[in-house]
Each structure stands twice: as structure tokens, then as C-alpha cells.
A and B are shown apart, each in its own frame.
Chain A
Amino acid sequence: MSADGRPATVTGNGPAGRSGDFRLDVRELEIRGGRHGPPVVSEVSLGGRAGEVLGLVGESGSGKTTVALALLGYTRRGLSVSGGEIRLDGVDLLRLGPGELRQMRGAKVSYVPQDPAAALNPALRIGYQLREALRVHARIAGDPEARILEVMREAYLDATPDMLRRYPHQLSGGQQQRVGLAMAFACRPSLIVLDEPTTGLDVSTQRHILDTVRSLCRGYGVAAVYVSHDLAVVSELAAEVAVMYAGRIVEAGPTPILFAQPLHPYTRGLLASVPTPDSARPLTGIPGHQPPPGQRGPGCAFAPRCDFALDQCRAREPEQVAAAGRTVRCVRVAQIPAGSAPRPLPSAVAPHGATVLSVRGVSASYGSVPVLSGIDLDVPSRACVAVVGESGSGKTTLARCIVGLHRNWTGEITLQGVPLAHGARHRPRQALKRIQCVFQNPYTSLNPRKTVGQIVAEPLQRFLGLSRREQTERVVGVLDDVSLGGGFLSRYPDQLSGGERQRVAIARALVVEPDLLVCDEVTSALDVSVQAVIVELLRAIQAQRNLAMIFITHNLALVRSVAQFAVVLRQGQVVEAGPAEQVLAQPSSRHTARLMADVPRLVRPIPPG
């Protein structure tokens, strides 16, 4: 199949020697910003076997998407490949001319983007978009119509004319991504690059899509590269995994070995940050953040964040060495002691006091669309209640009703026995002060035109009317509490990383000493190592300050690390509520049980096949 479509530039040595059964063979890839700019990606070597998934993991800014796009012979504007080779079935993609490359894309290499809603053209029918790929590469398939129906069935889509006539907005997120998969596999490619295809999907949908990806890859014998920040997903799907940090692969090897016993300090840190729904353990994040291109020093890029770093690490980029069945880029592999198992959280929960917030029979709607119906919820003092649910379950609307941003609700919400008015505008200042809120997206929750000091001091001024000096004192105090410190007072939000911004938002909420803190998906826009740090911070603060907290999340794995109670929402109704331990470990409703089963987990035995 691969021989006929191959362009004329096949090199003599072909896929022999080291490459063995590698369909994809990337060697020493280097990508720079501009011709003489700083390297964005350096010394990346990867091998992809037929029918297997290669996981490429790393946090935002690690260069994983840049590498993934380079596999299609594509670089973003301003970046260019400055070295190395990308061989696919023996052909070096980087040596192809624009015309040959275009012939390769779609036919031999295909791409599944992150957001299917954005990747599908909203003005064209699904059928048209599926046919498009086959029309461009007409020689590949025999009868295009038959091929479309076949590939749709393989992607578990209804292979009906009705489906082909639909527009993308008439499909669910999961179906849209299946269309994306069907398009990618339509021409029977040799390599498929999947760029976080399940990000933004609910866990159950994600589970189905992952199963589809696995079966398609195996069935077609393609080499698949799966780019993700989600280690749990990769551990379930990939046979081999490469961990990227600051544009380099720091550790690579077979998934079970690598995840069971990580050697590089960064891999260890990442794995320790991943929350699990099965036990209550504190998350250990990685302090600091990744150096951007151009600000990477001469030594190991991870050294500034590494507990084990020596002068040697800072002086020179470590060579890649083979150890224990994988390759690692760390000079101290042999010396670093094996990581100890994380200690479990104290299971004994501090006694909870009287109810701080009580929600009784709250129903809410947007216009005429009902979103919540008859919600009951109690938040005891000194306790954290997690509200979990899939997208559309109404969890954020509930938060908006409680804080007073959504006014169209019925029922009763009382704060320490006093009923709350519907809208924030009708609530007395004292009531506003006592409920504080942290929002999901740290990139829009801070005014870019104000300094951190101004942002945090503002509620003090409005609620407490403190003098300038007292304000500064309190602001510095609370910034210390969120481990930022007074040095951040005069910074502007765009000088901060995502995690730092979220700390500022937390500090702003805490500074007036509220009775209730509402956290709405506060970690979902953050990297996993930063998420761990923020969750730990919230847990510590909640315990220290005896704060009542509502923690809204779609991520069941986080619940036990932070909350003592859990409430599961589905389609605007409470399906289950109780102590977090009990709800997650022995769910009484089928919905919760299914959600728990679908949560991706780290290190599972690779299913035989």
C-alpha cells in the first residue's frame, strides 16, 4: 500500500537498520524561531511503530504541539525547522517540495486537531467534508462513497445518509471528534497525529473516543502520535511515551516501565501531580515554571525547579543516556533515590460545625431553558463541598446563583440563616463580603490594567475601608499566604504565569476573610503540575482558616484531594450527595459509578491485544 503513493525522493537506505519496524523515525529534530532565533525544540528523536500509539506528553510551552505539527511538515509562521530529519516509511518529509508535501498530507500523514468544533467548517455538511479528503487524494480509495461509509462505521458513527447531511453544529462534541477521526483515517495514512483530541470532552465521551482511536490505530496499522498534557489518558493509550520539557525530550520509553518507575525528576514531579479518584492523597506540584525559548540557560532546563540539581546540571545540557529500559536526559539518574509512595491524607476529618450556606429547592433557568431543578445543598463550616458534573450539568450556574451573578432562580439560599437576595446588586455589602469567588479562567479574571497590589487591595477598600497602610499590610500578608510574597505587588497580570494569576485571584478572594469561598473550575485552565500546587494551596488554606468552601469541578479525580463532601449533578439535578469518600468509593447511583469507571487512570495494565 505504501509503495505506490511514494514520491520520487525515496532515499537509498530506506527503513532499514535501526528503524526496524518503525514507520515514523524522527532524528535530532530542531526548530527555531526565525533563522537565527532561539531554539524552540531541540534534539528530538522519536520512533513510531505500526499499529502503536506514541504518547508525547508535556505541559503548555514544552513544544509538544510544535513537534506534532512538524511531523506534517508544517511549522507555525515565524518558526522553521533548522535541523534533523523526519522519516515516514523511509521518506524524509523535510526534503520534500511543497507539492510533494501537499500530496503526503491527508494521504500519508493526517492530523486530528484539538477542538473539532473549530476544525470542522460550520457552513459545510459532514458528508461534504468527509468527501473532500478523498477527492483531493483521488487515487487512494476505490469508490469514495463506499469508503466514507466504511470509515464512518469504523469510527462508530451512524453510517447513514442522514448523518452525512448534517452540519457540524447538529452533532455532539463526541460525534464531531469521531468525524475528525473518520476524516483522518479516510485515506489510510501511515502516520496520524492526534493533538489532544479529547480535551474538552466529558469523561465518558473521552473514554469512547479513546477506545475508537485505539481500535482504529490497530486496525489500520498506522503509527499514531498522541499529543497530550493528560498523563492518565496517555498511560491508558500509548505503548511508548516521550516526556517533553522546554523543547527537549527528557525521558522516553515503554509506557508501563516509565510510568511505574519514572527516573527523570520532571517525570516524577508530573506523575506526583496527577490526581487520582481512588484515594485521598495530597498532590505534589512542581514549583516554578518552564523557561520560555530564548531564556533557557546553558544547563538542564529543569535544573532551577529540580530538588536534585547540582552545579554540573546548570553548567551543561545533560546527554541522553539509556537506563532501565528507557532513555533519560539527566546526569543523576543513578543517584536519585527511588520516589517514595505519597503519604495518604489524614482520613480523620475535622469536626464540622453549623451549616454556613444552605441551598433549598433552587431551580434556575436561562430564559425559558431550565438549567437547575430543585437543588438542595448544605455547606458546613470548616468543610469543603465538591460539586461535580459533566458539562451542561448546571454546576457553574449553581455557583453563579450562590454568588449572585445569575438572578433568574427560585427557591432559597441562606447564608448563616439569612436569606440571600437574588442578584448581587440587591445584596447588602456585608453579604457580598462574606461570599467570595474564584473563577475558572485566570487569564480573564484579573484586570490587565491594574497591578497585583491594586487588584488585591480593591476589596479591602470597598468592604472594609481600611487606610492605605493597613491595606498594604493585609495585601502583603495574604500574598504570602498564597506563596507569592510582596515582590508581586507592582507586577501586572500579563507578567504572571497562569498559576501565579490564579494565586492572585485566590488572594483577592481571601483578603476580606470571607465565610464561604466558591471555586469554579479553578484549575481547569492550568497545567497538571500547577493544578496540583493550587489544589494543595486551597486545601491548606481551607484547613488553616477553617473556611467553608464550594469546589466546583468536572474532574472527579480532584475531589478526594480537596473536599470532604461531594455532590454529583446531572442535567440540573442532584443525583448523589454525601461524604466524598463514600460517594466516590461506593457510589449509590449508576451515573456516578459510570463517571468513576470512565475517569482515566494512571498506570493500568495495558490491555492485551
Chain B
Amino acid sequence: MTVADPGAAAAAQPPVDRIRRHQWLATAGQAVRTPRGATGLGLVSFVVAVAVIGPFVAPDPPDALLTYPFGKPSGQFLLGGDFLGRDVLSRVLDGGWLLLLMAVTATVIGIGAGAAAGLSAAYLRGRTDGVIMRTVDVILAFPQLVFALLLLSILGPKLWLIVLAVGLTHAPAVARVLRSASLDISERDYVKVAELQGMRPAAVMAKEILPSLSTPLMVEAGLRLTYSIIIMAGLAFLGFGQPPPAPNWGTMINENRAGLALNPWAVIIPAVVIALFTIGTNILTDAIGRVALGVDRRPEEAALVDDLAPAEGGVA
């Protein structure tokens, strides 16, 4: 029984129908309404706005040599010049969208591959489980950045390869989390019912189990997006990124660190936007996780729900 139990009068139906239709949207919506979630969403939206709108409002072309190397901020160049004398503000505004796009793509790849692996391991069990999870263990033994560097140094620093490498390095950790989340669900009776209807394993996983994993998936996605940004910025810092003339927040930190004393803004601003984005994503993810777990539920409400929940299988 739930608190929203309609009782004997069918007329008094609570309006839960619409919300329930997209559970994950409801959870996200609730999360965003908590102070924590709102803060996270605010930070993330701010950085995304800078990255997306930036290129259109940048005062100067990002590649033009306009001022002195490490020129001080002035009325014309608000954040001064970089190591070649390019406008830092324009490069910050222009240097985000590709980084974010790559990070999002890598995250999608990582979550997709990881979820598929974790779910298959949990549902199929036996040998499949062993093979998948031992492979995961091996990949996890390498630090993520080192693994990406390895791939890049063998195959060359191509952008698609960076995305793929970062995405694939996410997959093992995602697989771990998703496996444990779906172990319990795989044992539920409705999954057995689907099997008894002759549903194929892939269909059982996609239609019966996956929908119940929306919350851990959302939390993982947020977390992995943060990591993607950090690793890509890190790779860019190490020289594996967009080729030189193009602006990129990660590359900018590397390029301009020699002039930290002359024009610190050329390093600080790109570092701050990256930090704001990762912190924002983290807070937002945390808020979603809390709502899903019921930590942010009012205690009275929680008590009422518990009081009505029947003892699971208790009357045996």
C-alpha cells in the first residue's frame, strides 16, 4: 500500500499518473527543487551557457594576435593577452563548446558500454559474468588517464580517438556500479514472468530491468561527465587535444602557465570555468541521488510510508 492509495472511492484518484510516467524526469524535477539541486543546476547551466553562447558574443577572433604576450587586462582586452598576445576573453568564450561536446559524447559512450556490460553480467550470471567482470578488473587496474594516454600515443592524437578512449575508460567503473544495481532487480519475480513468456534475454534486460535503473544511470552519468571533463582537460594540458591554434580551456591552462605572474587571468579563468562545471555536476548528481534514496524526504512523510508498507513476504 502507498500513501497515495485511492481508497474505496474510485473518484478520489490521486493525480500520480502523469508523474509516474517518466520516473526519472520526476526524480530529476524533484532534485532540482531542492537547494542543493538548484545550486548544481545553476552552476552547470552557467558554464554551458558560456560555452554555447560564447562563440557568438566573443569580441575578437580567438586566433588573432592583437595584444602583447601576457598583456595586462585593459579596457579593450578585459582579461588581457595570452602567451602569443591573443585575447584571453575571446578564447575562453570560444574554447568551451568543443570540450563539453566531446565530454558529453565520451560520457554517453562510457555509460552505454558500461551499462550494457554490467547489466549483462548481472542478468546472465555464470561464465558471462566472470568474463565481463574480470575484463573490467584488468582495465580498472590501469589509471584512467594512463590508459587513455596509452591508446593515444599508439594511435595518434585524433579527436574522435580521444572521445572514444575517454569513453571506454569510463565503461569498467560504470559496469561495476550497474552490475550491483541490477543484481537485485534481475531476481525479481516480474523478470521471471518475462522469461516464462519466452522473452529473449536482451529484451528482458532492455524492457524489464533497464527502466528500473534510471536513477543509478543518472547519478553515474553526472559523475562520469565530471570525470570526462577533467580527463579531457588533463589530456589537453598534456598536449593531446585540439591542435594548437584552436582555443580550449584545458590547453589554455598549459599554454599560459609560464606567464602566471604576468597575466594570471589567462590561467585562472579557464581553470575556474572547468571547476564550476565539475562542481556543479557533482552537486546536481548528489541531489538526484539523495532524492532517489529518500534522504531528502521529510521524516514524517517517511514514517507514514514505512508504517503502511507491509512486511516484505513476512507472513510466511
Contacts and interface: CB of A to CB of B under 8 A. Distances in A.
A37 B302 CA distance: 12
Contacts of A403: 196
Interface stretch (B1-9, B32-40, B150-158, B226-234): B1-9
Interface stretch (B85-93, B184-192, B247-255, B258-266): B184-192
Interface residues of B, number: 46
Contacts of A491: 17
Contacts of B190: 444-447
Interface string A21-40: 00000000000011001101
A78 interface: yes
Given A37-B300, A492-B20, A498-B1, A448 B212 contact: yes
Contact of B196 (A66, A115, A305, A437): A437
A199 B316 CA distance: 7
Contacts of B17: 490-492
Contact of B1 (A66, A294, A497, A521): A497
A373 B3 CA distance: 46
A424 B196 contact: yes
Contacts of A446: 190
Contacts of A495: 2, 4-6, 14, 16
Interface string A474-512: 000000000000010011101101100000000010000
Interface in B249-297: none
Nearest to B193: A445
Contact of B316 (A289, A391, A490): A391
B137 interface: no
Contacts of A295: 5, 7
Contacts of A294: 3, 304
B192 A439 contact: yes
B314 A289 contact: no
Nearest to A201: B316
B198 A424 contact: yes
Contacts of B302: 77-78
B195 A405 contact: yes
B208 interface: yes
Nearest to A428: B198
Contacts of A445: 188-190, 193
Nearest to B303: A78
A40 B307 contact: yes
B208 to A, nearest CB: 6
Contacts of B301: 78
Contacts of A458: 194, 197
Given A405-B195, A439-B192, A462-B198, A33 B212 contact: no
Contact of A289 (B1, B300, B304, B313): B1
Nearest to A463: B197
Interface in B163-217: 188-190, 192-199, 208, 211-212
Contacts of A285: none
Contact of A404 (B196, B303, B307): B196
A418 B84 CA distance: 84
Contacts of B23: 449
B8 A497 contact: no
A288 interface: yes
Given A33-B300, A289-B5, A304-B7, A447 B195 contact: no
A492 B21 CA distance: 9
Given A292-B5, A391-B316, A494-B2, A432 B198 contact: yes
A221 interface: no
Contacts of A305: 8
B5 A497 contact: yes
Instruction: Classify chain A's interface size.
Output: 35 or more
Contacts of B189: 439-441, 444-445
A229 B23 CA distance: 34
Given A114-B314, A292-B308, A525-B312, A432 B1 contact: no
A34 B312 contact: no
B299 interface: yes
A449 B24 CA distance: 11
B141 interface: no
A462 B8 contact: no
Contacts of A114: 311, 314
Given A292-B3, A432-B196, A40 B188 contact: no
B310 interface: yes
Contacts of B14: 495
Interface string A281-307: 000000011011111000000001100
Interface in A57-85: 60-61, 63, 66, 76-79
A526 interface: yes
B138 interface: no
Contacts of B304: 33, 37-38, 40, 78, 292-294
B3, B16, B302, B307, most chain A CB atoms within 10 A: B307
A166 interface: no
Contact of B310 (A115, A291, A432, A525): A525
Nearest to B209: A447
Given A76-B303, A78-B301, A449 B211 contact: yes
B196 A405 contact: yes
Contacts of B9: 304
Nearest to B20: A492
Interface in A404-438: 404-405, 424-425, 427, 429, 432, 436-437
Nearest to B201: A425
A19 interface: no
Contact of B188 (A199, A200, A292, A444): A444
Interface in A7-63: 33-34, 37-38, 40, 60-61, 63
B257 to A, nearest CB: 50
B116 to A, nearest CB: 19
A554 interface: yes
A554 B310 contact: no
A459 interface: yes
B291 to A, nearest CB: 16
Most central of B208, B211, B299, B313 by chain A CB within 10 Å: B313
A167 interface: no
Interface hub of B188, B197, B313 (most chain A Cβ within 10 A): B197
Contacts of A524: 313, 315-316
Nearest to B210: A449
Contacts of B315: 199, 229, 524-527
A443 interface: yes
B8 A405 contact: no
A52 B316 CA distance: 27
A459 B1 contact: no
A498 B310 contact: yes
Given A432-B197, A498-B310, 15 more contacts: A34-B299, A34-B300, A78-B298, A78-B301, A229-B315, A289-B5, A289-B8, A292-B308, A391-B316, A441-B313, A443-B313, A445-B189, A492-B17, A494-B4, A527-B310
16 contacts: A66-B307, A76-B307, A78-B303, A289-B7, A292-B308, A405-B192, A424-B195, A437-B193, A447-B212, A462-B197, A462-B199, A463-B198, A495-B5, A524-B313, A525-B313, A525-B314
Interface of B: 1-10, 14, 16-17, 20, 23, 188-190, 192-199, 208, 211-212, 298-304, 306-308, 310-316
Which A-B residue pairs are the 9 nearest by beta carbons? A78-B303, A34-B300, A445-B189, A449-B211, A78-B299, A439-B189, A304-B8, A444-B188, A447-B190
